[in-house]
């Protein structure tokens, strides 16, 4: 108990320092916390829970089950500003089970924003089947002051039984990522997170980072010394980045040296870009530098487009550029399937006259075009 | 004493009655036990299960007769069978330990290659257990067992698939209309694979139910639905199915891998259960482990995965972990903190997926070894709902259930009168309810959908990302969008199962998110108008079989 109180005092000191902008000057090993270096494992459940303030009973509005999380949080903030206990009571008073849990998460988060230490302490005393989500909610609030949140979890991992608090690390990383505090999350992973969680936490961080701040994420990759982990993070960033800004990824990919990374990134880019914006992708293909695997890129482009994106004649011009016979055949087949619906005469004229197919392929496609399709009656 | 008895005829009769009763009680089991067995008949077998079932397996490996308490349940003209008939080249029966009969049917017909199907009964239990081992996918493109019951004997099937009294097909030859405006089809009313237990039809003092059994060899993962029943109507069949795989799910992608038919593995065991009308509990099929079925992997040859927990869960949703590779698939519901254990997995390396309801929020891999457990540390999931938005319609969970008519997709055709009017819908952010936004955007019916939303001057001065998530699409349908009259680029088509989907009772395709980075010049301060329409290069067959997609979520990011 004494140790627990010391820890809380230390955390409070860190909070004050952080608020004053002093944290930067504190050592990261926790030596400033005035806590014994050799820790004695202490279970969170042994620590006395810090009860929210008690106050007179008030009536608070009952939210609708359709309320968004943001709306619930706004409501919870208003109540928690008067008393965290009121916010918890308000949440627990909801009759709908799902709404009750959502309100509780909002209440704990609102509490965590105001008093992160107390909210985390309280969350750790909750029943096992709720503890993790309560802890995450408290940390989601705590990350309004990221270094305070990090200090809390660092303390849990360092000064208490790590087995009890190992889940605090992913909870903190998720909270930091959701708050856009990617560099802080990455620093925490590298310096404080349990070793066996680092791969998954790194991936989770770079997935979010790549989606919202891809350039910064790419830069941060250089700080990863483990080659396998760096590759892992790289693929995560490319996947999320190419879904958001394919043109920027294209520029980046073409700057990479030849190799597996570039090949993989290009394939991911082609897959995403041909889905999201085929017109822009086609423009890039037309100006793509030498070395790009055009065959596969064109085939992917054709497989995801039809006359809603461009005329069959233009698509056929693309298909005929494919040098691989099988890829070219499948691409022409894909285009003909739609073309035959809209203008069978033109499609069959093309099929009869193209020199891009051999006779066997031509006959096979003719049979495909003549196959019946499903009928709708009424 | 004897005289006394003679002088009291009523008492004598009572004693005699008791004695007769005792004799009958003693004799009854002997009669049943004597009946238990398989009798060779015309190249096949007549099997008596020692209780209430007598069924005939023909030389072709099909079940031509199935009598329960003497009543013929099976169609008298069409057999119950794998596919449309097994055409078996070999049918053999074996009695194991005196109380189990295994009828093994092997077909080398070209459509099956080399397929083994088992019928199994245990003495005194009114179940027919089955298992199927294909070495290639049947050429028909699906693997199913169909029990062809007589509709007149088993008239009470699931309502959504009861076509009795229909007024004709309204789509293809398998979706039917009724005079009251409702619709039925064999596709409707099916559960997700993860929810399958028992299902069937009943009649007067009789019921037949499929116990769907082990799904590890099926395809499509935990959320696919497939045909379970079809009531053909009076004078015809009550079809009770176990679909093990089908082309309905081809092109589904799980953890980035296209699902394919799994072959050279055992499907099942599964069972058909016969009752006096009550719904049976899922039968214990563990005894089948000792029967030496081809492809059966016993518990000692299996392992397990233990997940410590999840971070980043949304408490409003149920989470699952799923596993798939070319040999098997598994899933497990997770606890409120994301922990869980998946048992009885075949050894191998699996893609592992964490689902928030039906949406993948994490993928990785895990290796399972026989007779051992693999622990997975707490996973930090990536939830698209955590992105800050200006507005969001619905939520990311891989389903359209929260939207207009979303809960009806699985049980009726979209033109069914029980659906609310589909629109076109104009949705005003901040005042319209989520349930008024269409679950499906049909090009031929409810297009366009218009979204009206307000932006502050600061919001209108910035670029924003628009995201539209879909759960499946038909006929290459995808969203085309205009903002205040400015057309955004037309996306390409997503990869989806090639079959009909939305009109055949499912929204489960490949979850796909389309996103656009919209420049600030497209926005205005105050009210903005967004219009969504499906585009496709494919022609529409009808207002409902038109290019379409089902929504998961629509949002404008902050």
User: Do both A243 and A115 map to the same domain?
Assistant: no
Q: What are the extents of the domains in chain B? A: 2-32, 36-290, 299-380, 384-557
- A206 shares a domain with A183: no
A228: contact with B, CB 8 A cutoff: no
pLDDT tier for residue A226 given thresholds of 50, 70 and 90 = confident
B384-557 falls under which CATH superfamily? Galactose-binding domain-like (2.60.120.260)
Q: Chain A interface, mutation test: which of B181, B314, B315, most A Cβ atoms within 10 Å?
A: B315
**pLDDT given for residue B498 in this prediction:** 80
Number of neighbouring beta carbons within 10 Å of residue A95: 7
Last residue of a domain, one of A140, A172, A193: A193
**Higher-scoring residue by pLDDT: A323, A22:** A323
A101 touches chain B (CB under 8 A): yes
Is the model's pLDDT at A270 over the cut of 50?
Answer: yes
- State residue B239's pLDDT score: 98
**Segment 150-189 of chain A within 8 Å of chain B by CB:** 166-167, 169-171, 173-174, 177-178
pLDDT at A373: 54
The helix or strand, by DSSP H or E, that contains position B2, with its residue range, turns out to be helix B2-7
Closest CA to B511 of B545, B468, B479: B468
User: Would you state the structure tokens that stand for residue A194, as one six-digit string?
Assistant: 């349990």
Which of chain A's residues have a Cβ under 8 Å away from the Cβ of B379?
Answer: 170, 200
Cβ distance of A376 and B516 shorter than 8 Å? no
**Which candidate from B311, B536, B542 shows the least CB-CB separation from A170?**
B311
Cα angle for residues B199, B204, B206 (degrees, 5° grid): 45
pLDDT average, residue stretch A215-233 = 89
Out of 3.40.50.300, 2.40.50.140, 2.70.98.10, 3.40.640.10, which CATH number does the structure's domain B36-290 have? 2.70.98.10
Query: B183: which chain A residues are within 8 Å (Cβ-Cβ)?
Result: none
In this structure, the answer to whether residues A268 and A298 fall within a common structural domain is no
The verdict on residue A301 lying in a domain is: yes
Domain assignment present for residue A41? The answer is yes
Low-confidence ranges of chain B (pLDDT < 50): 1-34
Q: Which residue of A has its CA nearest to B377?
A: A197
> Within this chain, do residues A110 and A3 fall inside the same structural domain, yes or no?
yes
Instruction: Find tokens 């423009």 and name the residue.
Output: A283
The 10s digit of each residue's pLDDT in A137-148 is: 999 999 999 999
Domain check: are A207 and A187 in the same one?
A: no
Write the pLDDT tens digit of every residue in A13-46. 444 444 443 333 333 333 333 333 333 333 333 3
CA–CA gap between residue B313 and residue B278 (Å, rounded): 39
In a domain, A286, yes or no: no
Predicted pLDDT of residue A128: 85
Q: Which of A197, A244, A306 lies at the smallest CB-CB distance from B536?
A: A306
Q: Residue A377 domain-assigned?
A: no
- Of A193, A210, A232, the residue that ends a domain is A193
Note whether B57 and B105 are within 8 A (CB): yes
What rounded mean pLDDT belongs to chain A?
82
Same domain assignment for residues A52 and A145: yes
pLDDT for res A289: 67
Query: A119 and A90, same structural domain?
Result: yes
Report the domain count for chain A. Answer: 3
Lowest mean pLDDT among A57-71, A241-255, A311-325: A57-71
What is the residue range of A51's domain?
A: 1-193
The dihedrals phi and psi of B121, each to the nearest 5 degrees, come to -130, 155
Residue at A284 is within a domain: no
Pair A161, A120 in one domain: yes
CA distance B105 to B400: 43
Beta-carbon count within 10 A of B202 CB: 20
How does pLDDT run across B54-81, given as a tens digit for each residue? Answer: 999 999 999 999 999 999 999 999 999 9
Is the domain of A38 the same as that of A177?
yes
Q: Could you tell me if A323 and A267 lie in one domain? A: no
Mean pLDDT, range A72-94, rounded to an integer? 93
pLDDT of A49 above 70: no
Q: Label residue A196 exposed, middle or buried (CB < 10 Å: 0-12, 13-18, 19+).
A: exposed
Q: State in words which class domain B299-380 has.
A: mainly beta
> Residue A255: inside a domain, yes or no?
yes
**Both structure tokens of B133:** 């081992």
């Amino acid at each position: 108990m004494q140790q627990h109180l010391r820890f809380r005092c230390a955390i409070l000191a860190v909070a004050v320092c952080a608020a004053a902008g002093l944290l930067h000057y504190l050592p990261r090993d926790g030596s400033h916390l005035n806590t014994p270096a050799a820790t004695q494992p202490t279970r969170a459940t042994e620590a006395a829970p810090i009860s929210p303030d008690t106050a007179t009973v008030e009536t608070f509005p009952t939210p609708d089950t359709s309320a968004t999380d943001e709306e619930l949080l706004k409501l919870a903030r208003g109540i928690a500003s008067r008393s965290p206990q009121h916010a918890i009571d308000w949440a627990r008073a909801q009759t709908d089970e799902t709404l009750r849990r959502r309100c509780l998460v909002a209440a704990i988060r609102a509490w965590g924003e105001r008093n992160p230490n107390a909210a985390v302490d309280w969350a750790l005393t909750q029943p096992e089947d709720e503890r993790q989500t309560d802890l995450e909610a408290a940390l989601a609030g705590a990350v309004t002051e990221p270094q305070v949140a990090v200090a809390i979890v660092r303390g849990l991992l360092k000064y208490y039984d790590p087995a009890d608090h190992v889940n605090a690390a992913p909870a903190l990383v998720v909270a930091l990522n959701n708050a856009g505090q990617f560099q802080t999350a990455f620093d925490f992973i590298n310096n404080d997170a349990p070793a066996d969680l680092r791969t998954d936490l790194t991936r989770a961080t770079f997935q979010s980072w790549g989606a919202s701040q891809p350039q910064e994420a790419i830069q941060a990759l250089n700080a990863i010394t483990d080659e396998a982990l760096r590759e892992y993070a790289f693929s995560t960033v490319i996947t999320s980045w190419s879904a958001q800004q394919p043109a920027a990824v294209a520029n980046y990919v073409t700057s990479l040296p030849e190799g597996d990374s570039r090949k993989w990134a290009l394939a991911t880019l082609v897959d995403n870009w041909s889905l999201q914006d085929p017109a822009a992708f086609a423009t890039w293909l037309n100006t793509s530098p030498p070395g790009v695997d055009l065959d596969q890129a064109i085939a992917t482009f054709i497989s995801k487009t039809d006359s809603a994106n461009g005329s069959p004649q233009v698509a056929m011009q693309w298909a005929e550029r494919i040098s691989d016979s099988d890829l070219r055949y499948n691409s022409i087949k894909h285009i003909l399937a739609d073309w035959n619906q809209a203008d069978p005469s033109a499609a069959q004229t093309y099929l009869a006259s193209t020199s891009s197919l051999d006779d066997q392929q031509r006959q096979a496609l003719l049979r495909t075009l003549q196959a019946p399709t499903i009928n709708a009656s009424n | 004493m004897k005289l006394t008895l003679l002088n009291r005829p009523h008492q004598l009769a009572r004693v005699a009655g008791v004695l007769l009763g005792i004799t009958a009680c003693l004799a009854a089991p002997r009669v049943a036990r004597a009946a238990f067995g398989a009798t060779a008949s015309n190249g096949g077998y007549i099997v008596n299960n020692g209780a209430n079932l007598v069924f005939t397996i023909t030389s072709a490996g099909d079940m031509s007769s199935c009598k329960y308490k003497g009543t013929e349940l099976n169609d008298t003209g069409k057999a119950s069978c794998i596919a449309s008939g097994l055409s078996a080249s070999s049918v053999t029966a074996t009695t194991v330990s005196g109380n189990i009969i295994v009828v093994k049917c092997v077909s080398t017909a070209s459509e099956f290659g080399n397929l083994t199907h088992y019928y199994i009964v245990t003495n005194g239990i009114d179940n027919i257990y089955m298992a199927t081992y294909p070495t290639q996918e049947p050429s028909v493109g699906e693997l199913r067992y169909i029990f062809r019951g007589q509709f007149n004997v088993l008239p009470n099937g699931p309502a959504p698939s009861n076509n009795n009294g229909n007024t004709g097909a309204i789509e293809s030859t398998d979706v039917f209309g009724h005079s009251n405006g409702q619709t039925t089809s064999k596709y409707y009313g099916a559960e997700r694979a993860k929810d399958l237990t028992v299902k069937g039809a009943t009649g007067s003092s009789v019921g037949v139910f499929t116990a769907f059994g082990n799904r590890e060899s099926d395809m499509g993962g935990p959320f696919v639905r497939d045909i379970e029943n079809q009531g053909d109507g009076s004078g015809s069949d009550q079809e009770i199915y176990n679909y093990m795989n089908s082309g309905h799910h081809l092109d589904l992608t799980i953890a980035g891998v296209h699902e394919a038919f799994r072959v050279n593995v055992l499907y099942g065991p599964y069972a058909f259960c016969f009752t006096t009308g009550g719904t049976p509990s899922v039968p214990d099929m563990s005894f089948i482990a000792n029967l030496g079925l081809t492809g059966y992997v016993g518990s000692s040859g299996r392992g397990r995965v233990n997940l410590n927990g999840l971070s980043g869960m949304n408490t409003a949703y149920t989470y699952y972990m799923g596993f798939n590779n070319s040999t098997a698939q598994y899933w497990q519901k997770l606890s409120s903190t994301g922990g869980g254990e998946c048992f009885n997995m075949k050894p191998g390396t699996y893609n592992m997926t964490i689902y928030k309801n039906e949406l993948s929020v994490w993928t990785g891999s895990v290796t399972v070894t026989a007779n051992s457990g693999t622990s997975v540390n707490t996973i930090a999931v990536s939830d698209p709902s955590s992105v800050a938005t200006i507005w969001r319609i619905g939520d990311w969970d891989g389903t359209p259930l929260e939207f207009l008519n979303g809960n009806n997709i699985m049980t009726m055709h979209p033109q069914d009168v029980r659906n609310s009017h589909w629109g076109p819908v104009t949705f005003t952010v901040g005042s319209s309810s989520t349930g008024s936004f269409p679950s499906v955007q049909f090009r031929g019916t409810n297009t366009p959908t218009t979204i009206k939303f307000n932006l502050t001057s600061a919001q209108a001065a910035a670029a924003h990302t628009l995201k539209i998530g879909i759960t499946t699409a038909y006929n290459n349908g995808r969203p085309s969008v205009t903002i205040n009259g400015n057309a955004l680029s037309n996306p390409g088509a997503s990869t989806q199962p090639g079959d009909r989907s939305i009109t055949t009772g499912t929204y489960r395709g490949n979850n796909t998110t389309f996103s656009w980075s919209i420049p600030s010049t497209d926005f205005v301060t105050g009210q903005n108008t967004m219009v969504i329409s499906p585009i496709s290069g494919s022609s529409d067959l009808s207002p409902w079989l038109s290019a379409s997609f089902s929504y998961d979520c629509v949002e404008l990011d902050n």
